[in-house]
Amino acid sequence: MKLNIQNETSRLRAVILGTAESCGPTPKVEDCYDPKSVEHVLAGTYPKEEDMIFEMDSVAKVLEKYDVTVYRPDVLKNCNQIFSRDIAFVIDNKIIRANILPDRDKEIEAIRYVWNKIDESDRIILPEECHVEGGDVMPWNDYIFIGTYTGKDYPDIITARTNIQAVNAIKTLFPHKKVKAFELRKSNTNAKENALHLDCCF
């Protein structure tokens, strides 16, 4: 499989679209990874699995209608696999495996069959100290925009997903691109003070 992602708005030919199948029950408050999810759990508005399945399948049908090849992750039991771009993302002809929350590590195995179709020289696994999720990385032609958090409390902020080490690693990987890092506001407890990812900001 040959990759070519220059931006997020050009004609889409193939995509890995997440799945809501077997995403598990509504989490307990103490198991939520971000304050917006906590708000929805407490309000009783956390999305139901059947609604999410319907929505994701509807998106897949629209993509297929326009001749986009849609890959779906293998279904992992009781695992939220909606956000497949967080676990691996593409810039130019390289797929980069994200270093993400340890609890989400198994999600990469669910798309291993796609990963294995890509030439080994185009598969990038960043060093362990580089934390990044795909939702923070937005290629835009000559630019790569990256959301990050550089506060000293980074290890304690569960909503901080991309660190400066990852920003610097991506700069090194793509020296011909202009990498622009944006400091995102983070909070474990206040949804209005928290930007989970750069793509959420857009």
Is 175 a member of any domain? yes
* pLDDT tens, position by position, 129-178: 999 999 999 999 999 999 999 999 999 999 999 999 999 999 999 999 99
Radius of gyration of the CA atoms of the chain, in A? 17
In a domain, 7, yes or no: no
Q: What is the pLDDT of residue 147?
A: 98
pLDDT greater than 80 at residue 105: no
Global pTM value: 0.93
Rounded-to-integer distance, Cα 13 and Cα 115, Å: 16
Burial group, residue 157, by CB count within 10 angstroms (0-12, 13-18, 19+): middle
Residue 39 lies in domain: 14-200
In a domain, 2, yes or no: no
Number of domains within the chain:
1
Residue 106, pLDDT > 90, answer no
SS3 191: helix
Q: Rounded CA gap, 86 and 78, in Å?
A: 18
Within a domain: 115: yes
What does each C-alpha distance from 131 to 94, 102, 190 come to in angstroms?
17, 11, 23
Asked, for residue 8, whether it belongs to a domain, the answer is no
Task: Let me know if residue 6 belongs to a domain.
Answer: no
What would the pLDDT profile of 109-118 be if each residue is shown by its tens digit? 899 999 999 9
Residue 9 lies in a domain: no
CATH of the domain at 195: 3.75.10.10
Classify residue 4: in a domain, yes or no: no
How far apart, in Å, are the Cα atoms of 26 and each of 22, 97, 122?
Answer: 11, 28, 37
